[in-house]
Copies of this chain bind each other. A is one copy, B any other.
Amino acid sequence: MANSSIYHATATAPVNIAVIKYWGKASTKLNTPTNSSLSVTLSQDDLRTITTASCSASFVADALWLNGGPHDVSNARSQACFAELRSLRKAKEDKDSSLPPLSTYKLHLISENNFPTAAGLASSAAGFAAFVRAIADLYELDESPTELSRIARQGSGSACRSLFGGYVAWEKGDREDGQDSLAVQVAPESHWPTMRAAILVISDAKKGVSSTTGMQATVATSTLFPNRTNVVVPARMEAMKKAIAEKDFETFAELTMADSNSFHAVCLDTIPPIFYMNDTSRAAVRVVEEINRSAGKKVAAYTFDAGPNAVIYYDEANQDIVLGTLKKATAAITGWSDKYAHINAAVPEGFNEAFLEPLAGGVSRVILTSVGSGPLKVPKENALIDEQGNPRSAT
């Protein structure tokens, strides 16, 4: 076979951290949730996945390389995304016979994260968002991010929210076929650009159960769960959208902390119980509660995903109080770059410093970031592939 053309496109996608949590699938087949959720997209300067999607008549199999190593794509989730995206491309080709038949070619995907996998940050959201965005760009699809979010959702639920910047809702939808379970932007990052996040990476001796396994155990066994998903979260979703519209940090903080605790409460109410937070996570909760108490208002909000790491949201206006306190506890830890040299490691007046010590010992890394944009296109010359469509050696 003659040397065939290699088509490629490259995109980046961000991490998002939910403030109203996704926990529970209505359909495991469609990957639809039992309740809507809402997240803040984080800056790709600090946390992003970059993915080059390429295809060629010469490729013999679909393949994915992740952080330099081959990665399985035979799983149902990756296959669902491939099939949906090819189907959209096929429709385009059927309408315009001058287009190259990319939908019939095998795909090579090369993907890299700019953050350590060991950090235990949910990388599947950014991963599947970049996967879908890069293939959509390669196929020159006209579908909107919301339409693509329906596909990304099938790869990894929370990935649908990483197709947008700013403040993003995943509306659970009501249809049996899951077609209305998709992500919408609640507000762009420019609406409330001063939202910042400090991530405390907390090591854990014991790896918790995977979120896929855990959430279905909760659905099946927690007696408190139906009330959370049917009553508590719908009310919080509305209140959270209003808080974001009004840039009301105190309400945002109250809802964020309450929903994180509610999520971990139904994990604990699962049989057998699921624990993601550990003693260091709880120390982070206490430090944030003490910051807010001594500040006399909510200036910081913790949230915990399916792991011990604390994500602490705050508004830039309160950076000195919030980062000052966190720096006092963790100044010796990796992550305090020169950019934060001017932050004075100090606690607010009246802060009880006894809360700091239990935190200091358990944090292995600090990541300081902020609200950020949605997926970005990367110029062709920065693609992660070589001329044969394989990963570039130097990455």
Contact = CB atoms under 8 A, between A and B. Distances in A.
Nearest to A288: B272
A82 interface: no
Contacts of A226: 227
Contacts of A272: 257, 285, 289
A279 B258 CA distance: 22
A261 B257 contact: no
A264 to B, nearest CB: 6
Identical chains in the assembly: 2
A232 B226 CA distance: 12
Interface in A251-278: 254, 257-258, 261-262, 264-266, 268-273, 275, 278
A177 to B, nearest CB: 31
B358 A262 contact: no
A268 B265 contact: yes
Nearest to A280: B279
A191 interface: no
Given A224-B228, A224-B232, A232-B224, A265 B269 contact: yes
Contacts of A358: 205-206
A228 B225 CA distance: 10
Interface string A277-316: 0110010011001000000000000000000000000000
A223 interface: yes
Interface of A: 205-206, 223-224, 226-228, 231-232, 254, 257-258, 261-262, 264-266, 268-273, 275, 278-279, 282, 285-286, 289, 358
22 contacts: A206-B286, A223-B227, A223-B232, A224-B224, A224-B227, A224-B262, A224-B265, A224-B266, A254-B271, A257-B272, A258-B269, A258-B271, A261-B268, A261-B269, A261-B270, A261-B273, A264-B268, A265-B265, A265-B266, A268-B268, A273-B285, A275-B282
Given A205-B358, A224-B224, A261-B269, 8 more contacts: A206-B358, A223-B228, A226-B227, A261-B270, A265-B265, A265-B269, A268-B268, A279-B279
